[in-house]
Structure 1
Amino acid sequence: MTSKFKTEPDDRYFEDYIPGAVHEFCCISVDEQEVLEFGKRYVPLSYHIDKEAAKNSINGGVIASGWHTAALMMRVYAENYLSKLANLGSPGGDELRWDKPVFPGDVLSVRATVLEARRAESRPDRGIVRTFIEVLNQKREVVMSMKMVNLSEVAMRRGKLKRSRCVLPHP
């Protein structure tokens, strides 16, 4: 079951990321010209850059680079999930998987499950949010997944900082 944030990204703080909450964000289309251009610039493999050669590949046509898929995911994730007010960046991600090919014309959505939200022990003015991200195509198939860690400012609303830590198992 999906959840809805009580705040918009412009007003979101660490406390708004609730472990167990599942958020879905729609949509971004995969444009063939962008697939070809991204491939030519960053991943010059035949199945990313050459429509004719790609017909003979195991996918039967041009597919988006996994890094292009990650960039599309990041666009949706940054616009809808990350706080515009309190985001402090990311130390990285883990367990990146490209589960299925992404084709031109696919329409992708992002599902973000908050796995953990805890205060940073050394810096109580910020929190660490661990999120399981899934990218789905229009058939609701998972085409990419990863775990991402983000840092977020804590709202100093009450003048006192309370320690919190919640951890969920991997979905």
Structure 2
Amino acid sequence: MTVLYLEDFTPGQRFAGGTRIRIESERAKAFAAEFDPQPFHLDEGAASVSIFRGLAASGWHTAAVTMRLLVETEFQPAGGIVGAGFEELRWPTPVRPGDELRVEGEVLEVRPSKSRPEQGVVKMRTSTFNQWGEAVQVSVGNLIVQRRPS
């Protein structure tokens, strides 16, 4: 894959991944047990009477899967995918065991850094979808990207 510098990005540019990751029940429960041990992520019975009406993977599990999927797209910024923070992070639809997730990204804004001339910021919307095309995570984040060496 080609490494992209700040100058290679333009607003409206899109990146999609062909890779899909299937969410397995046991892996979702193991993630939740370690990082988000709430009953609706761990136990089918408790989940059935929760707001989710069934077992739901942790949003943080979805975020970790999204990162993995994003790394496998053509979105290959120089210096790696280095986050400077999120302006938005939503989980509009719960992720269920058996869901197959895929990711798409869109560049919203590109701006050189005023204080660090060797880098800039790419604002990007990253959307994660299940197998039915429903958005399960939407984020808008600012990423630090290196400028092309002179």
Report the TM-score when normalising by structure 2.
0.89
SS at match of 2:20: strand
> Residue 62 of structure 1: CA displacement?
0.9
1:143 counterpart residue number:
136
Mean Cα deviation higher: 110-119 or 49-58 = 49-58
**Separation in 2 of the partners of 1:112 and 1:88?**
13
Q: Distance in 1 between matches of 2:35 and 2:139?
A: 21
Question: 1:21 maps to which residue?
Answer: 13
**Contact kept in structure 2, 1:12 and 1:86, CA below 8 Å:** no
- Distance in 1, matches of 2:104 and 2:89, equals 15
Root-mean-square deviation (Å): 1.6
Structure 2, unaligned runs of 5 or more:
none
Q: What residue is the counterpart of 2:101 in the other structure?
A: 108
Residue 15 (structure 1) shift: 2.1
Work out which of the residue numbers 41, 51, 69 in structure 2 matches 1:48: 41
Question: Do residues 118 (structure 1) and 119 (structure 2) align?
Answer: no
The offset of 1:88, in angstroms, is 6.9
Answer yes or no: is the 8 Å Cα contact 1:87–1:153 preserved in 2.
Answer: no
Letter of the aligned partner of 1:37 in structure 2?
Answer: A
Equivalent residue, structure 1, for 2:91: 98
3-state SS of 1:87 partner: coil
Preserved contact between residue 116 and residue 130 of structure 1 (Cα < 8 Å)? yes
Higher normalized contact order (CA 8 Å, seq sep 6+, divided by chain length): 2
Instruction: Give the drift of 1:144.
Output: 1.0
The answer to whether the 8 A contact 1:88-1:153 is kept is no
Percent identical among aligned pairs is 34
Runs of 4+ in structure 1 off by over 6 angstroms are none
Q: How many residues align?
A: 148
The C-alpha deviation readout for 1:70-110, integer Å capped at 9, x for no partner, is 11101111232243x42372221121111010001101111
Normalized against structure 1, the TM-score is what? 0.79
